[in-house]
Amino acid sequence: MKILILPGDGIGPEVVAVSASALETLNHRFALSLSLEEKEIGLASLSVCGSTLPDSVVKSAHSADGVILGPVSTEDYPSEDKGGLNPSAWFRKEFDLYANIRPSKVRSGVPALAADMDLVIVRENTEGFYADRNMVSGSGEFMPTEDVALAIGKATVKGCRRIAHAAFKLAGRRRKHVTAVHKANVLKHYSGMFLEQVKLVSKNYPEVSLDTVIVDAMAALLVRSPERFDVVVSTNMFGDILSDEAAELSGGLGIGASINAGEKHVIAQAVHGSAPDIAGRNIANPTGILYSTSMLLEHLGAKTSNNLLCEAGVYLANQVDALLAKTETRTVDLGGSVTTSDFGKALITSMKN
């Protein structure tokens, strides 16, 4: 099984290096037989070969079983005709990564606004009100006159059904509860289609319970009683907003993890950005990409019925949890004083014991 590692921009090389070392250690400890390949993207590859996403990376990505993608500084990229491709957007479109899966969990020792939370938001990632992904040509956002702006939200039966299946399958491995978040009371066709398809798909998973919540109520309930939720499924924009809210409630975007998954490909990607203001200072928190790497292994394990991959993913997350539980092994942003590389060394030492 091949894993492609792409460090990215800003703090990406620093935090991804920790994840790569952890993967190498897991590879030996669990005899995973992983083939790890690292390639440059972003500003590093732009300066060498004139593209933020070289053809060699594209080729390797197509043959990889999973990709670890570091944060990218797309605002600093030139236009696409000058080589400034957005790797994250390219992966999503090229591989039809329709499921953005983002867990939010209160972890021991990590300051959090919520007292108790352990949920996963499953966000539809290819449709919705996002103008760059809901039309085959042109944009879903337009201005017929200078004082009128319009935006189109796209929902398809296929898109709604497949994100619902992803949510129910995940819930089956967790606490067997799905919450569908919608606005079908107002967006009767767009949100109504989503809600109808989730209910239909739920009949295939009788062991998983389903409830439905209107999106504005959900925003309040995440603050009031987040412990009641297990797997939350929603359309693109609602899922985007709610997943950021949940991340902040559970400890902040610095520890936020995600995978973007399609039928054949999966990309691990921390939810935070490239943080150029602290790049090169060895103080970035690597736990977001570490938890994302854990998710990648568990996803591949579930997909291929490989229990070793699942065990390795859970083991990695538990090892990171154990370090975060102690002030002396936390990075500065979480009240500790260790550097990025020191956190990595502590993690590897713990994993080798």
Q: What is the domain extent for residue 235?
A: 113-122+132-250
Q: Does residue 127 belong to any structural domain of this protein?
A: no
What per-residue confidence (pLDDT) applies to 138?
85
Write out pLDDT tens, residues 142-153: 999 999 999 999
d(CA 353, CA 349): 6
Beta bridge partners of 182: 214
Tell me: do 264 and 202 sit in the same domain: no
Same domain for 69 and 85? yes
Q: What is the mean pLDDT of each run of 10 residues along the chain (353 residues)?
A: 97 98 97 97 96 97 97 96 95 96 95 95 95 84 96 96 98 97 97 98 98 98 97 97 97 94 97 95 97 98 96 98 95 94 97 89
From residue 168, how far is each of 199, 239, 327, 329 by CA, in Å?
Answer: 11, 16, 37, 36
Residues 203 and 269 in one domain: no
> Residues near 113 by Cβ (< 8 Å), separated by ≥ 6?
248, 249, 250
Segment 247-298, tens digit of pLDDT: 999 999 999 999 999 999 999 999 999 999 999 999 999 999 999 999 999 9
User: With b meaning 16 or more CB within 10 Å and e meaning fewer, what string describes 91-114?
Assistant: bbeebbbbbbbbbbbbbebbebeb
**Domain total of the chain:** 2
Nearest to 228 by CA among 143, 148, 111, 115: 115
For the whole model, what pTM was predicted? 0.95
Residues 137 and 233 in one domain: yes
Tally of CB atoms within 10 A around 188:
11
- Give the per-residue pLDDT at 177: 98
CA-based end-to-end distance of the chain: 25
Q: Which of 230, 287, 226, 231 has the alpha carbon at shortest distance from 256? A: 287
Parallel, antiparallel, or unpaired for β 259-261 and 99-105? antiparallel
What does the pLDDT look like over 318-332, one tens digit per residue? 999 999 999 999 999
Given this model, what pLDDT does residue 100 score?
98
| Residues with catalytic function | 130, 183, 216, 240, 244
Domain boundary among 224, 250, 276: 250
328 and 269 part of one domain: yes
Question: Are 265 and 328 contained in the same domain?
Answer: yes
- Which of the listed residues 250, 270, 292 is the one where a domain comes to its end? 250
**pLDDT cut 90: percent of the chain above it:** 95
Q: Tell me which residue of 119, 116, 107 sits closest to 251, measured CA to CA.
A: 107
What is the predicted pLDDT for the residue at 33? 96
CATH number at residue 23: 3.40.718.10
Asked whether residue 233 is assigned to any structural domain, the reply reads yes
Look at residue 137 in the predicted model and tell me its pLDDT: 84
At position 302, the amino acid (one-letter code) is A
Structure tokens of 203? 């009949």
Is 99:262 a contact under the CB 8 Å cutoff? yes
